[in-house]
Amino acid sequence: MNRLDPITLEVVTEGMISVVREMRATVFLTARSVAIYEARDFSCGLFDAKGQVVAQSEDIGSHVVPMPWSVESSLKILGDDLAPGDVIVMNDPYLGGTHLNDVTLIYPVFHDGELVFFPAVREHWADVGGSVPGSMSGTASEIYQEGLRIPPVKLVEQGEINQAAMEILLSNMRVRDERIGDFNSGLAACRTAERRIRELISRYGIETLLAGVQSNLERSETRMRAQIAKLPDGEYFYEDYLETFSQPPECRLEPLLLPLHLTVTGETLTADFTGAAEQAPAPVNSTLAVTAASVFITLKSVFDPTQALNHGSFRPVSVIAPESTIVNVTHPAPAGSHGEIRKRVIATMLGALAHACPERSSADIHRTSFHNLIGGIDTATGKEYVHYEWASGGNGAFLEDDGPSSMAAIDWGDLCTVQSAEVMETRYPLHVKWSRQAMDSGGAGRTRGGLGTRRALQLTRGRALYSLLSDGAVLPRLEFWVARVLHQSAATCTGTGRTYPFLHRVRWVDTRSMLVRSSCCKAPVVAVMVIPLSGSRRSAGGRPRGLCVC
């Protein structure tokens, strides 16, 4: 394959990134659910015929980076039966997905009869069925309770939607009209990508386009190898714990161990999670795709944050995640709150890298994805609704600067940081009483951790079911673990930006069952939920700050 001159390479590269950006714009303009068009919980990517990431835009890393596993699974199952105009739909965590709510559309693009690219869209559908509104149940013990599991299937075949299959999906999901709109938005984005790819092929030729892909993969691999080579060879260890609790009435703390052995050998790096706890009968398990993506995202953010992301950056990195553990879940364990493992994998990576390159690592990011779901029937319209909100808040400080406040973490990309009160109040029977930053919630130090945020929501009419999935409520964390590793001989420390979503004295539910994860909590019309969206610092008494009802 011919090598491209630098100018042509950059033009072709930006052309492919522009394809993804136009996909994003299409989803923005056409999606029906607030979680997608307002909160931006979706991502687009361009993949080659092998499923390697070729281009992304301002997308969510924890969506795009696991997608190669989704494309690979789709190729294994449907590869010999793909044709122009087909659209693959899947959300199966065990086959390269994340959790069931993240529905992925994969669109094969052919040129002269040969498969050349896969544009793909991963959207968080606000509901995919299951036992609770929003599908992510804090009390799920099997994946069947989390919604409809979709293996790679051709929902569109040669341009025609399989209406029977579509009806099966929609009949098992809440808020039907939103699901139709979200599917159509992803389909429109994929078809837009196909048109733009054909324009690039017409302008530059397929050989030039594929040569640009190969050059970019090699360039990213070279950059990552050069960064890893700067680290001292050796093995670096860090461990963290994930919180789980036994069933009520005991609600006994049963922490799950997440150890990391990070081995650097020349230009290569291995992240080994051997010894991780067995998968739990709780929604906190992670797929191999998500675990590996969390490793890749951390390395990319620390070592090469300015270069466009593609698959080449991951080639020097190996991930070992034993099957049937919390970092490589197998059937039938649930994975609805996989984001908690993702956050802990990133934390262990930062902790290990603090030994290897203290000048580049940061303190811990905010600790949890903190999924909040409220759903029911709006008595004013008679229609069902699902509101989905997550944490964004304080992140860890660096040696040279404070951590950012009220922001998404490195795994969230362009995800909305604070959702619009006006949109929420227009669409749902909810009232935002206030949203504010949590004073003094960042870990103290010469450079301090970022501040968390707090929000009070009031249900204005009817009744609703509330689900919470989070972590970091009980187990103490070292406020200055980075400082203690980095700066024992210096009079400085860096603060963390962590989350303590501790539920306290909620008057309409037995709080013993809601320390970290819960579902089916019945909220009356007067309930006001005060949700700390990633406050980070322990209070003077040494206890986590509270989540309470006013």
In-domain check, residue 550: yes
Residues 6+ apart with CB under 8 A from 336: 99, 100, 101, 135, 136, 137, 140, 146, 283, 371, 469
pLDDT at residue 546 in the model = 30
Distance (Å, whole) CA 214 – CA 208? 10
Contact of 460 with 429, CB cutoff 8 Å: yes
Mean pLDDT confidence for 428-438: 87
Lowest mean pLDDT among 418-422, 526-530, 544-548: 544-548
Give the model's confidence band at 163: pLDDT under 50 very low, under 70 low, under 90 confident, else very high.
very high
Mean pLDDT confidence for 135-148: 94
Q: What is the mean pLDDT of the chain?
A: 84
In-domain check, residue 301: no
pLDDT at residue 493 in the model = 31
In-domain check, residue 245: no
pLDDT at residue 540 in the model = 24
- Residues facing residue 467 across a β-bridge: 373
Between 213 and 539, name the one with better pLDDT. Answer: 213
Beta-sheet pairing, 114-124 with 42-48: antiparallel
Percent of the chain's residues with pLDDT above 70: 84
Mean pLDDT confidence for 160-174: 97
Give the model's confidence band at 481: pLDDT under 50 very low, under 70 low, under 90 confident, else very high.
very low
SS (H, E, C) 304-347: CCCCCCCHHHHCCEEEECCCCECCECCCCCCCCCCHHHHHHHHH
**In terms of Cα–Cα distance, which of 372, 534, 389 is closest to 450?**
534
DSSP 3-state of 216: helix
The half-sphere exposure of 352 on its side-chain side, counting CA atoms within 13 A, is 30
Tell whether the model's pLDDT for residue 90 goes beyond 70: yes
Q: How many domains does the chain have?
A: 2
pTM for this one? Answer: 0.88
DSSP 3-state of 253: strand
Give the model's confidence band at 505: pLDDT under 50 very low, under 70 low, under 90 confident, else very high.
very low
For 304-340, the pLDDT digits (tens) are 888 888 999 999 999 999 999 999 999 999 999 998 9
Give the model's confidence band at 1: pLDDT under 50 very low, under 70 low, under 90 confident, else very high.
low
Give the model's confidence band at 142: pLDDT under 50 very low, under 70 low, under 90 confident, else very high.
very high
Give the model's confidence band at 512: pLDDT under 50 very low, under 70 low, under 90 confident, else very high.
very low
In-domain check, residue 127: yes
Residue ending a domain, among 195, 217, 239, is 217
Beta-sheet pairing, 317-320 with 268-272: parallel
Alpha helices in 142-287 (DSSP H): 163-170, 176-204, 206-229
Residue ending a domain, among 158, 186, 217, is 217
Lowest mean pLDDT among 41-55, 119-133, 421-435: 421-435
Beta-sheet pairing, 546-547 with 502-503: parallel
Q: What's the chain's length in residues?
A: 550
Strand order from edge to edge, sheet including 453-459: 430-437, 453-459, 528-533
State the residue for tokens 């989704």.
Answer: 70
In-domain check, residue 431: yes
Residue ending a domain, among 217, 240, 274, is 217
Lowest mean pLDDT among 42-51, 203-212, 409-418: 409-418
Give the model's confidence band at 503: pLDDT under 50 very low, under 70 low, under 90 confident, else very high.
very low
Contact of 65 with 297, CB cutoff 8 Å: yes
Residues 6+ apart with CB under 8 A from 418: 392, 406, 435, 453, 455, 533
pLDDT at residue 499 in the model = 33
In-domain check, residue 331: no
In-domain check, residue 307: no
Between 452 and 477, name the one with better pLDDT. Answer: 452
In-domain check, residue 392: yes
DSSP 480-526: THHHHHH-TTSS--B-------EE---TTS-GGG-SSEEEEEEEPTT
Tell whether the model's pLDDT for residue 405 goes beyond 90: no
Instruction: Provide the domain limits for residue 86.
Output: 6-217
Percent of the chain's residues with pLDDT above 90: 61
